[in-house]
Every structure is written in structure tokens, then in C-alpha cells.
Structure 1
Amino acid sequence: MNWKNIFFGICCLSASLHAQQEQPNSDIDIQPFTIGETVTLQSQLLNEQRTLNIYLPNGYHQNSETEYPVIYLLDGSVDEDFIHIAGLVQFGSFSWINMIPETIVVGIANVDRKRDYTYPSTDEEYKKEYPTTGHSETFIKYLEKEVQPFVENKYRVTSQKTLIGQSLGGLVATEILYKKPNLFTNYIIVSPSLWYDYESLLKTTPTSYNSEKSIYIAVGEEGPIMKRVAKELYNTLNQNKKKNTKVYYHFLEKQDHGDALHLAVYSAFETIFSETKK
């Protein structure tokens, strides 16, 4: 047996395989996978660039006549809640599911959520730990004066607008509901951080409104304070609701603060939009 010839053959085979690996396979075409659009705008109110992630329903560009409701999602960065909420919307709007109508999702990416999602606090320790806190009023104006007008001018939308907020996002969603309720038609408020500033928001009186609303409040097994304040919010809204308002409460006993949002939003879609079909 000629070991030199065998070794030479192995070397040639190895070199041939390596060369094949380096050659691009002409049968493979790799393209980026996208589920929407990312828009970067200069906010005059916030004095900074802000990012919106936009999910458009299948067929949006093919049908130039159809208008769509809009979901505005707080914590809407790609690495936050945008992708899985957009996925729920796509799934729920499949014709064989028919849970919700085809809907545009606007994910509002964060820059400083403790700044944007909190009103001024009297808690000195909290302010010391989070010195940028307390500017939700400006953020709410940003939603009203910049984000909504941009979406309404850029995309084909109906007047139905849903807001989704969780944790501090649930706090600012509640603040909007209390102070400027007509900014949105539906409110999905999950695990709201209403403990903030000694629960002061719960002690205020919500602003009156006349438009039709659906309000969905959910909380998981997140400790006695979180459960209590969420239930107090529900009780307050339910006891003072108008005839054209529906208020729902959902306790997710198997979920906690980290994983309540996905199931809560799915349940909210089933509840709110099934009611609108009746």
C-alpha cells in the first residue's frame, strides 16, 4: 500500500471540498425579511429623533381604497414588544381566525421610558434614583400633535385608535385615559405601574368624555400592590362608566410581570373586537 499516494489523495480531496465551500451557490438567493417599515422623525416637542415601527396589513399596497384601524403600541421597539404584537395582529386578522380586523400597528420606540411614561413625582427617593422622571405631559403631546397626525396623513386609516401599554406604559396609558380620553377609542392597559407617586393618579377624577370606548385592564400574579391597584382602576372605571363604555378586567393567575402582556393582548383582542362585531 502506497501511503504517500493515499495522503496525497486525501489532501487533494480536502482542498477540493474547501474550494467548493468558498464558491457561492448560485441556487441560493438570500433576501432581508421585513414585516413593515421603520420611520425616523425629528420630534420638535421632545427635541430628539424618534423611531416608529410600522406594521402594514397584507395587501395594504395592493388595495388603494381600504382604510384600516390603528393600534399604537408603547414600548414599540423591535427588541421590545413590536414584533410579537404585530404577529398577534397578523394572526388575529387571518380570514380563518377573524378575531380582529386587518389593522396597522404603530410601535413607538423608546428613548427614555422613565422620562416619557411618568408624571412629576413627590417621591424624592424615586426622583433621586431616576432623575429624568416626570415628563409624560410632553410625551402625551408628542403622541397627540406629532405621531397621530403623521400616521393619519401618511397611511389610510379609520378613526378607530387603540392604545396598548404595559407596566410604566400602562401608567401613561391610564394617565391619557384620565386626562385626554378622546385620544384613543380603545385602551389595553396591562400590569399598570399605578403604585407610582404613592398611587396619586388613582386619587384623581377622570376627565369626562362622550365617545364610545372599550377599556381592558389585565394583571398577572405580580404581588399584592400590583394586583390591588389594577383592580382599583377597574372598579373606578366600571363604577363610573358611561352607557357607551365597556370595561373589562382579566387576572392572569399563571403569568407574572414579565410574561403577562402577550396573553393579555390576545384576550383583549378577542374581547374588544368580538364585541364590535355584534
Structure 2
Amino acid sequence: MKLKTIIILITTIVTYQINAQTPIIETSKTTLSIGEKVILDSKILNENRTLNIYLPHSYVQDSLKTYPVIYLLDGSIDEDFLHITGLVQFGSFSWINMLPESIVVGISNVDRKRDFTYPTSNKKDKADFPTTGKSEAFINFLGTELQPYIDQNYRINKTKTIIGQSLGGLLATEILYKTPDLFDNYIIVSPSLWWDDNSLLKSKPKAYMTKKSIYVGVGKEGSIMEKAATDLFKTLKSNKKENTQIYFGFFEDLDHGDTLHLAVYDAFELLFKTKE
């Protein structure tokens, strides 16, 4: 082995050993927070429910400003909370101006199969979802406990949006059909409207008084899912009032697992930019 090669090898080994033995000193370490975690005692559901609440950067700085609220189903930290709040933050940058700064209320799940479904007569539904059929109680929780809590404890304006995907999309559709004035904007992605043999689609949506913006999105998810989403859009469009805007998004390169993110981005751009 040449002398030059030996010297380089020794230098490399010594440098590695020095670096390995030299500790990296932290100058500080603090907790990184993008909002608040709240445990809400629900008398209606007879259980504690965890809320992950994103607060815009200006919330602390501007004590007079009020904010719209986006209610996110499947809002656990390990579900959709982080990436949806990222879209909200990005979309509200002044140079993007896609939607106003907003508070996001992520509702963590306890049993989504229980909370997001209404009773079914389908035997397979019952077998696959043994805890099913309690959406009425969950909707009651949203309207009489969760929304009043947010109203009383945060600086909000009157605009309320709900985002639901899959079974969450089924629940958001049920709310739109049965208690539409609970929210102003509905973002419904890949809704599981096959539930109970498409019974919700066979019913008539309840009339509402307030202005609505509704977005329905679906990916390349098979004929059942795609037809149900398309039928929902057509039904809503045929019952459309003057105070309603309805949009549809089809994402042919995405499937049931990855449509949500791009669909919500598309919905934000359509629902909020058109209001400027």
C-alpha cells in the first residue's frame, strides 16, 4: 500500500473517531405547537372526545380578528389532521390567497364505524360493522355540544365547513340531507354511499335556508364508488337553489386511499376563491 494512501486512511479514521466522540450541544429545546388538544366530555356520546385544534399564526397576534371554522372528520393526529391543516396554512398565505385563515377542529375517532353510519338493513353491513348505526347521536353531538363549545371558546365567525372522506363522506352527506344548516360548506370526498343499499341517495334532501357551497370528489375507485358520487352530485345539482354552488371533482389517477388531499385542495380553491 502506498504511503499516501495509508496517510489518507489514517486521517479518515482519526477524523471519524474525533467526530464520533465530540458531543453535539443543543442550545435549546422546546415543544413545537400548532394549536391545542382538548378533551371534551360528551354527555350525548357518554364518553370523552379528543379535539385537535389548529390555530392560525395570527390568532395570538390579533386579538380582534375572527375566523371561519373547518370541522374535520377523521381528525386524529395519525389520520388527516396534520396534512389538512398544512393545506389550510398554505392556502391562506397572502401570496396564495386561496382561502381565509381558518381554525381547524380535528375530531379524533373512537369508533368511526359506529359514529359515521346510520342503521342498516343490509346483513353484510351488520356483519362487517357490528357497532354500526349511531350517526344520529354523533350528529347531535356535533350540533349541540361541539359547535357551541367552539363558539364559546374561540374567536370565530359564522362560516362553518365540514370535511368528510369515505365513511366520513357518508356522514357529511347524511348531515347535508337531514340537517343541512349545521354547516355552510360541505367537502364530501369518496363517500361510502353504498351503505344500506344506497338508501340515503334514494331519499330526498331536506330544504335549507342558508347559503351553501358543496364539493363532491372521487377518484378512480371502481364503478360502485364512482357512480354513487356522481349520482350524489346529480341529485344535489337537480335540487340546486340560487343560494347554492355545487362542484364535482374526478381524480382518475388517484384511488380511495389518496384522493382526499388533492380533492380538498381543489375544493378549497373552488369553494373559497369564488367568494372573493
Shift of 1:61: 1.1
**What is the correspondence of 1:1-278 to structure 2 with a 5 Å cutoff?**
20-21=22-23, 25=25, 27-277=26-276
Report the Cα offset of residue 14 of structure 1: 11
Give the AA of the match of 1:31: T
- Which one-letter code corresponds to 1:218 in the other structure? G
Q: CA deviation at 1:20?
A: 4.4
C-alpha separation between the residues in 2 aligned to 1:150 and 1:47?
16
Q: CA offset at residue 70 of structure 1? A: 0.4
Superposed CA offset, 1:83-110 (max 9, x none): 0000000000001111100000000000
Shift of residue 128 of structure 1?
2.2
Contact residue 125 and residue 195 of structure 2 kept, 8 A = no
Matches of 1:39 and 1:194 in 2, distance apart?
Answer: 31
Match of 1:276, SS state, is coil
Aligned equivalents of 2:29, 2:240: Cα separation in 1: 53
With structure 1 as the length reference, what TM-score do the two structures score? 0.91
Distance 1:231 1:16, change over 3 A: closer
1:210, CA displacement in angstroms? 1.3
Which portions of structure 1, spanning 4 or more consecutive aligned residues, are displaced by more than 6 angstroms?
A: 13-19
Q: Work out whether residues 37 and 51 of structure 2, in 8 Å CA contact, stay in contact via their aligned partners in 1.
A: yes
State TM-score, norm by structure 2.
0.92
Contact 2:217 2:229 in 1 (8 A): yes
Q: Larger deviation: 74-83 or 56-65? A: 56-65
Give the SS at the match of 1:237: helix
The CA deviation at 1:28 is 2.6
Q: Is the partner of 1:101 in helix, strand or coil? A: coil
Separation in 1, partners of 2:21, 2:197: 68
Contact preservation (8 Å) 2:53, 2:106: yes
Question: Please, what is the CA RMSD of the aligned residues?
Answer: 1.7
Counterpart code for 1:164: I
Q: Flag structure 1 segments of 5+ consecutive residues without an equivalent.
A: 1-12
- SS class of match (1:110): coil
What is the total number of aligned residue pairs between the two structures? 263
Structure 2: how far apart are the matches of 1:174 and 1:14?
Answer: 60
Deviation at 1:161, TM superposition (A): 0.3
